[in-house]
Amino acid sequence: MAIRVKLDHVLLDRRLTLTDLANRIGITIANLSVLKTNKARAIRFSTLDALCRELHCQPSDLLEWTAEEPDQE
Amino acid sequence: MNVKRPRSPASFLIALLLVVRVAVAIVLVVTIAILALSLFADIRGLEMTVVPPSFGVNPESHSGWSMTIPISVAVDQGRIAAPSLGIERAEIHDLRGSLRFPVQRGRLFLGNGLLLILGIGVVLWMATELQRVLRTVREGKPFAPSNAARIGRIAWVVIVGEFARAAIVYLENSYAASHFTAEGLRFTARADFSVLAILEGVILLVIAEVFRIGTRLDEDQSLTV
């Protein structure tokens, strides 16, 4: 899967930290970190909904498709 | 959730397997010690069976070492009939048993001794692997990545072990057939292959595959945000 999560860019634009976002949307920092570091296998609509609501953005602002495979860790 | 359930069936099985492991380990150590000692000293009443594996010392025996091997015999039979059923001729075939005989210290004895140690070692290894699997079950993490591999290894050992057991039975049958004679009996060689044991191994392979898929699903679920 070559879907990249651009959460770090959006957080930088909004001048927010991961801890702030975690507190606002009620998702643990550990889970948000999984998302931010592109280790997530899947994202729930409810999570996407909460992220878009708090960050005032569209899903396309958070996700992008790239042709290259992500690094396997 | 990582919660230990001390009274769960897994805990009971872990405790049971611990007892089995300790008992098998003691048997293994004693077997190795007796076999090593037998190389240098004459132990009276030493008795050894490879299939099924057993080892012991009979202090009342006045002979030296003895071995028990599986045999297959054909009987020179007279007329067998069941007139009340209207059966005029029946046959006894595939007669199996075991043959105990005194044995000299030599290749046969040592070879069987090594096979015995290997067999006990395999049982000990399987009990250890099962205990490790059950520990992860007790901790609420049955789909630990190592479990599929462990169950798969046990499955292959069961399958290969059954082929090895059948081969040993065949070889020991052949040994009896080529060295022993008995009035009214003919020793034959048969492999005594158990399809049921192979089936058990195949079932374990299926379970290993289920665990492998379960591990992947568990990982997917844990990485779903």
Residues B168-206 have pLDDT tens digits of 999 989 999 998 988 888 888 988 889 999 999 999 999
DSSP B40: T
Which tokens in the block code for residue B220? 């997917």
Which residues of chain A are within 8 Å of residue B216 when distances are taken between CB atoms?
none
- If you measure CA to CA, which chain B residue comes closest to A49? B225
Which residues of chain A are within 8 Å of residue B217 when distances are taken between CB atoms?
none
Mean pLDDT of chain B: 86
Percent of chain B scoring above 70 in pLDDT? 87
Of A27, A40, A47, the CB nearest to B223: A40
Q: Best-predicted range by mean pLDDT among B6-10, B47-51, B115-119?
A: B115-119
Residues in a beta bridge with B90: none
Percent of chain B scoring above 90 in pLDDT? 41
Q: Model confidence over A7-20: pLDDT tens digits?
A: 999 999 989 999 99
Which residues of chain B are within 8 Å of residue A27 when distances are taken between CB atoms?
225
The reported pTM is 0.74
- Least confident stretch, A44-48, A55-59, B180-184: B180-184
Say if the Cβ atoms of A43 and B224 lie within 8 Å: yes
Residue B201 to residue B133: CA distance in whole angstroms: 17
Predicted confidence at residue B95, as pLDDT, reads 86
* CATH number for the domain running over A3-64: 1.10.260.40
Q: Model confidence over B94-146: pLDDT tens digits?
A: 788 888 888 776 777 788 888 889 999 999 999 999 999 999 999 888 898 89
Domain ranges for chain B, please list them. Answer: 9-222
Contact criterion met (CB below 8 Å) for A59 and A35: no
- Outline where DSSP puts E strands in B64-163: 65-75, 95-103
For chain A positions 22-41, those within 8 Å of chain B (CB to CB) are: 27, 31-32, 34-35, 39-41
- If you measure CA to CA, which chain A residue comes closest to B224? A42
Residue A54 to residue B162: CA distance in whole angstroms: 62
Say if the Cβ atoms of B223 and A41 lie within 8 Å: yes
ipTM field: 0.76
